[in-house]
Amino acid sequence: MALAAEELKMLQDKAYQIRRRIVQVTERSGGGHLGGSLSQTDILVALYYKYMNINKDDPRWPERDRFVLSKGHGGLGHGVILGDLGYVADEDLDKFGKTGSIFGMHLDRHKVPGVDASTGSLAHGFGIGLGFALGARLKGLPWHTYIVLSDGELHEGTIWEAAMAGAQFNLTNQTTFIDRNRLMIDGFTEDIMKLEPLQDKWAAFGWNVMRIDGHDFNQICQATEDAKKVTDKPTVIICDTVKGKGVEFMEDERKWHYGGLDDAMAKDALASLDEGKKKRDAAEKKAS
Ligand SMILES: Cc1ncc(C[n+]2csc(CCOP(=O)(O)OP(=O)(O)O)c2C)c(N)n1
């Protein structure tokens, strides 16, 4: 499936705007988890702007699709999307992480409208998300649950306990995405604790596994739709991504897991994002 050109451009432009805002919020707030917020952006944009059945005027609408950012430190990027959709005010976002703000580094479902699960202690969000899926099944309700994991989280045993439960209960009314950016806080996953072959591990735990480029909207959307057609196993989509995606000097750099930006660095980061967009627009023009 190839997305229509207009829709593809809408998603790409949205991801560009979200990444710009991630940089701006970080500059204003003093610091944030930039690398992982930038790597997860395209996955979240596809879900929030194409797939999720939600209502910003009624954030707790009982039948809404559920979203769990199990990699809770990506709350910066998640918060920016909630701001863009109108769940939270711009002024609140600009106080991200500050004392008295509704935004801590990890989003709190009791403070930030639109957040279904408070996460941050890695790996626990996965079980919460699978619980939402099981809850929908038991109650006969239609919501679909979307869960986003980081690769670093997969080092936690809790993930694999939950994975077994997901297969046991055949939770096909959820889709799990892994932001496979290969980097953690202190280095590459494969240097610290090997995860590959990751597809084989998930398959052995009874899951339907797909592996895609997590920055290619055609692939993200195709996989999201294919996942819903699978009825005999729960699906996990391993998304190969780049930590710091879009800001050249942050890409694949461990030190940008968390950081602050002064005025000059923020300008450089925005210029890098603008340059990427210019190149993409030029390539699109040439192709059309
Ligand atoms: C249970 C738990 N242990 C440790 C941490 C501290 N911590 C925050 S982020 C992180 C690793 C981040 O790497 P990864 O999970 O791969 O995230 P990404 O690269 O997507 O940002 C760690 C260890 C935590 N939040 N929770």
**For residue 37, which atom of ligand 1 is closest to its CA?**
21
| 5-29 helix and 217-229 helix, angle to the nearest 10 degrees | 110
- Compute, in angstroms, the gap from residue 151 CA to the centroid of ligand 1: 9
SS3 at position 54: coil
Q: Is 273 exposed, middle or buried (0-12, 13-18, 19+ CB in 10 A)?
A: buried
Angle at 23 between CA 21 and CA 24, to 5 degrees: 65
- DSSP, res 65: P
- What domain range is 236 assigned to? 5-287
Number of domains in the chain: 1
Pocket-testing residue among 42, 43, 122, 250, ligand 1, by greatest number of atoms within 8 A of Cβ: 122
Q: Is the CB of 241 under 6 A from ligand 1?
A: no
CATH code of the domain in which 249 resides: 3.40.50.970
Give the tens place of pLDDT for each residue, 179-233.
999 999 999 999 999 999 999 999 999 999 999 999 999 999 999 999 999 999 9
Looking at the chain, list the stretches that DSSP marks H as alpha helix, in order from N- to C-terminal side. 5-29, 34-46, 75-85, 90-93, 124-139, 157-168, 189-192, 198-204, 217-229, 263-287
Q: Is the CB of 244 under 6 A from ligand 1?
A: no
SS3 at position 287: helix
Of 255, 249, 242, 243, nearest to 272 by C-alpha is 249
Q: Which residues contact 249 (CB under 8 A, 6 or more apart)?
A: 268, 269, 272
| pLDDT (average), residues 100-127 | 97
| pLDDT (average), residues 131-144 | 97
- pTM of the complete model: 0.98
End-to-end CA gap in the chain = 19
Give the tens place of pLDDT for each residue, 75-107.
999 999 999 999 999 999 999 999 999 999 999
Q: Is the CB of 32 under 6 A from ligand 1?
A: no
